[in-house]
Amino acid sequence: MWSVIAKGYLDGSLLQMERLKVFRYLCYYAQENVNFRLAELYSIAKLLNVDLRVDTANYSDQNPFVRIGLPDEESAVKILSRSVLIRSIIDVWAQSTTYTDLFTQLKNLSEEKLTRFYKDDYTFSIRIESFNKKVPFSQQKDLLMKLDFLPFGGSVKLKQPDFTFYLLQDFGDDCNQPREQPSRLFFGRLVSIVVFTTLSLVSANEIYYETIKLLKENILVTHLCLQNYASLWRIKLWQVRPGSLIYDPFVGTGSITLACAHFGAFTLGADIDPNILHGRGRSSRAKGPKFRGPDENVYANYCQYKLQSNFVDVMVLDAAKPAWKDGLHFDAIVTDPPYGIREGARKVLSKSDGAFAKTSQYNLSKVYKDLLSFAAKHLRMYGRLVFWLPFHRPSYTDELIPKHPCLTVTSNSEQVLNSNIARRLITMEKTKTFHNDSITDHTEANLQRLQDSFRDFYFKLQ
């Protein structure tokens, strides 16, 4: 039955009515980082153990409206509380392609649906928003007047009402040629977060802005600090839980681990560069002292935001020669390996004289091969590996994604940097017990192809 409805084999109003039953809620997304939407949504649902259905038959990256099916409103609130990309979730009351049919559906709503909104002491507001076209205020006012048949009690209150209702107009995906009339219309109630404060949930906006502020104001900053949004994507795809143990083998300034600590994880990191970890050398700030101060280090960032209880340690280690015992297992490994562009990957030479170890170039293909082998060995069963993978867009194929027999790819989302260069956020889950390192020659050859195509085309374009 679900597949019949999702594929749209039913006709007219019957199709709309059946779809409302299956996909009752509407995710209203921000029109940014669209390739990460479904990966984040599925990951959050799995983390929260929520039964989720997505109307993929009508899904488009170019459109902010995504219909989903959930068991109840509490599940919608939980998902919204963890999402970074969703603006809001609407409990859809009616959906149509014409205003006449939409208003007819609203007039035929059951008494059970409307009873809770009859009370005179409630306040409400109705907002009209459109996608891909600016609707004049006069037209919005006319639509509001046509909705005056709704039997809401109480008074209108524009700021912080008890209930907010939305009329959403979708004028198609083509931003260059928007439709004259909307292709889809939705009317529904904004899912309230306030109702569920007893569940100790926080709004997605609070989480987002707190973490953005946290990452922007770090004591220790370099030109390699990860984009704020990117740290949050990885947290969602990793399914961070309070008390989890996370490891970053290329920790740098700790922007990834710091964001994870903010969500309750215990963090451990390593890097081959002692200057970054211990705050020595030239500062990367545009203004201020040329050299880092004694307190500009990774641990100081944690202390600044009172997260030192989530800081396990950072160590100077060579990712090519991990020093961990076999019995150590992490809940997740989340990292952004150096690509050899702004910062090259290095490894320690086998023989080094003097107080400081000598290093040599660490090829990109070898970086990913070692990363997958390490994850297969040191992740707990069903633990996750999340990492960025750079590539040349015209030459990309799914075969270039590194593979390991113990790891299964669960998501693969693209972030476009320019017309030729992009990177993919790869999420893998450990599904088999590690016995020996068994990366195939085919995988090694693909990794070498990936390295050659990315570096050659990147520097050719400069």
Tokens 């049919």 belong to which residue? 101
Domains annotated for the chain, with CATH where assigned, are 2-197 (3.30.2130.30), 204-461 (3.40.50.150)
Q: How far apart are CA 36 and CA 413, in angstroms?
A: 6
Q: Kindly state the average pLDDT of the residues 305-310.
A: 90
Interval 235-280: pLDDT, tens: 555 667 889 999 999 998 888 888 888 888 999 999 988 887 877 6
HEC states along 196-265?
Answer: HHHHCCCCHHHHHHHHHHHHHCCCCCCCCCCCHHHHHHHHHHHCCCCCCEEEECCCCCCHHHHHHHHCCC
Note whether 278 and 297 are within 8 A (CB): yes
Q: Kindly state the average pLDDT of the residues 22-42.
A: 89
Min mean pLDDT across 22-36, 120-134, 333-347 is at: 333-347
Interval 121-147: pLDDT, tens: 889 999 999 999 898 999 999 999 999
Note whether 17 and 38 are within 8 A (CB): no
Distances (CA, A) of 113 to 21, 94, 121: 13, 12, 18
Residue 440's pLDDT is what? 56
Q: Kindly state the average pLDDT of the residues 87-97.
A: 93
Residue 462's pLDDT is what? 54
CA dihedral of 415, 420, 421, 424, whole degrees rounded to 10 = 40
**Confidence band of 76 (pLDDT split at 50, 70, 90):** very high
- Residue 130 carries which DSSP code? E
* 267 beta partners: 246, 311
Note whether 170 and 184 are within 8 A (CB): yes
Beta-carbon count within 10 A of 172 CB: 18
pLDDT at 85 over 90: no
197 vs 230: which has the higher pLDDT? 230
Give the number of C-alpha atoms closer than 13 A to the C-alpha of residue 21, restricted to the C-beta side: 8
Q: Kindly state the average pLDDT of the residues 33-54.
A: 90
Residue 65's pLDDT is what? 95
Min mean pLDDT across 64-73, 283-292, 306-315, 367-376 is at: 283-292
Residue 289's pLDDT is what? 62
Note whether 239 and 285 are within 8 A (CB): no
Residue 101's pLDDT is what? 95
**Phi/psi at 244 (5° precision):** -75, 155
* 422 beta partners: 391, 416
141 vs 1: which has the higher pLDDT? 141
325 vs 439: which has the higher pLDDT? 325
Q: Which are the contacts of 169, defined by CB distance < 8 A and separation ≥ 6?
A: 128, 129, 130, 131, 133, 135, 182, 184, 185
Residue 27's pLDDT is what? 94
Instruction: Give me the percent of the chain exceeding a pLDDT of 90.
Output: 33
pLDDT at 353 over 80: no
